[in-house]
Amino acid sequence: MNLQLRAISDPTRMRILILVREQEMSAGEISSHFSISRPGVSQHLTILKSANLLKERRAGTTRYYSVDPQGFSKIKEVMEAFWKDRLQDLQYMSEAEWRQQKEEQAKMNQVSVEIKVNAPHDVVYSYFVQADKLVQWMGVDADIEARPDGKFHVHVSAEDFVTGKYVELHPFTSLSFTWGWEKGGIRDIPPGSSEVLIELEPEGFSTLLKVTHKGLMTERARESHEKGWRHYLARLTMVALGQDPGADPWSTKEKYYPESEMNKPLK
């Protein structure tokens, strides 16, 4: 087997095997495909014969060559196993690269906002799962069902309505829900097209709150939602302390983004 592997390690000999794999050829016909001398080609033919990869047939003074099926089947098994392993490796590499590109793209299409809330994490959690508490810091009305696949509908302002569903809930530590604008808002973020992840990390009596909004495919969407989350989380920090943040200036018809922004071409 090692002899056969050495025999096919030379590109000239590999080309000879390719030439004769389907039909028998004379030594002269084979030599016509190479720039090297005929004696040089003969040396390669001899090596392939010794490795049981070629069969030789004589007709008078002419020698004809064809693939030796028995010897070639052994090297074929080795090569197939080799390429199966290499192709599998390439597949793994390709899948890993694809996953990495997907993760990098996902990171590009999201915004994250962190804020420290001076309240326990179970208290902060309640402001995302109870409608009466939610509207204290975001929106003028809410219709929510805090369970997997439960509705998440928030009337954010006079003209803006968010529609989504809760995805996962891990009491007091994290939750997620889909997010999209049923009416108003950013028109290129329709219902179900983005997802919000809320993470709560206790820090003594306080809570480190992190909001990651994924699936924001345009620069305008990322800028607007980052500005929006910073605005609302600032109100949440006050509400969680029992303070009144006052009327939300964004709950009126006068949005936090000018109407001209809504009419810009999508990026």
Q: Please return the burial class of 168, using the count of CB atoms within 10 Å of its CB with bins 0-12, 13-18 and 19+.
A: exposed
**Residue 227 shares a structural domain with residue 197:** yes
Same domain, yes or no: 148 and 168:
yes
Give the pLDDT band (50/70/90) at residue 257: very low
2-29 pLDDT, tens digit per residue, is: 677 777 778 898 889 888 888 899 999 9
Residue 35: how many other CB atoms lie within 10 Å: 6
Task: Report angle CA 41, 47, 53 to the nearest 5 degrees.
Answer: 105
How many other C-beta atoms lie within 10 A of the C-beta of residue 207? Answer: 25
76 shares a domain with 12? yes
Give the number of domains in the chain. 2
The answer on 117 and 98 residing in a single domain is no
Q: What is the pLDDT of residues 165-195, one digit of tens each?
A: 999 999 999 999 999 999 887 778 999 899 9
Residue 167: Cβ within 10 Å count? 16
Instruction: Please indicate, yes or no, if residue 267 is contained in any of the structural domains.
Output: no
Provide the CATH number for the domain around residue 93: 1.10.10.10
Same domain, 239 and 181: yes
Residues 37 and 147 grouped into a single domain = no
**Which of 107, 128, 155 finishes a domain?**
107
In this prediction the pTM is 0.59
Between CA 71 and CA 76, with CA 73 as vertex, the angle to 5 degrees is 115
Q: Which amino acid is at 150?
A: G
Q: Let me know whether 96 and 191 are in one domain.
A: no
Host domain of residue 161: 109-262
Q: Please give the Cα distance from 200 to 197 (Å, whole number).
A: 10
Look at residue 224 and tell me if it is in a domain: yes
